[in-house]
Amino acid sequence: MAPAMQSRKPEPGLSGPDSSPDRLTISYCRSSGPGGQNVNKVNSKAEVRFHLASAEWIAEPVRRKMAVTHKNKINRAGELILTSECSRYQFRNLADCLQKIRDMITEASQPAKEPSREDAVLQKIRVENMNRERLRKKRINSAIKTSRRVDVD
């Protein structure tokens, strides 16, 4: 018996990175780590990059949120760079990179959760307690340093 197919509806404003691969720059190189002859001779590491600011297939607010949350993956030219070398097969690493892009888009398109009133009150109490404790420790350290001081008469 064949497994049931799941249908995914595309999100509004998104057509997905795999619907048009010409929007992505895909390259392959040798992956690192142990593996002997396979690692030394086969270009199995996949690298996918695309210019985030000009990616019309991603909605503008999602692009802005991705630029903030994944700023360490964006180079000076504004390209988002993703790599994968989890498998010894090129196509699996490419599929992993594409899945990472989908996950990043899904994560960035989720609305921010507003904290409940109780959570906001608890957070405020925690911040006040941390500040009070920090100031208490500063007073203790100051008293210790004052007691070490030698009075010169």
Residues 81, 24 contacting (CB under 8 angstroms): no
Question: Would you state the pLDDT for residue 3?
Answer: 39
Sheet strands side by side (includes 79-84): 25-29, 45-51, 79-84
- CA angle, corner 63, sides to 57 and 67, nearest 5? 140
Q: Residue holding tokens 């990472």?
A: 100
Q: What is the pLDDT of residues 31-79, one digit of tens each?
A: 887 777 877 888 989 999 999 999 899 999 999 999 999 999 999 999 9
The two structure tokens encoding residue 140: 């203790």
State how far the Cα of 74 lies from the Cα of 89, in Å rounded to an integer.
25
State how far the Cα of 52 lies from the Cα of 60, in Å rounded to an integer.
10
Q: Residue holding tokens 């340093």?
A: 145
Phi first, then psi: give them for residue 16, nearest 5 degrees.
90, 150
The two structure tokens encoding residue 136: 């208490």
Confidence of residue 17 (pLDDT cuts 50, 70, 90): low
Question: Would you state the pLDDT for residue 21?
Answer: 61
Q: Region 86-107: what's the mean pLDDT? A: 93
What percent of the chain is modeled with pLDDT above 90?
63
State how far the Cα of 123 lies from the Cα of 144, in Å rounded to an integer.
32
User: What is the CATH T-level fold of the domain 25-109, as seen in this structure?
Assistant: Double Stranded RNA Binding Domain (3.30.160)
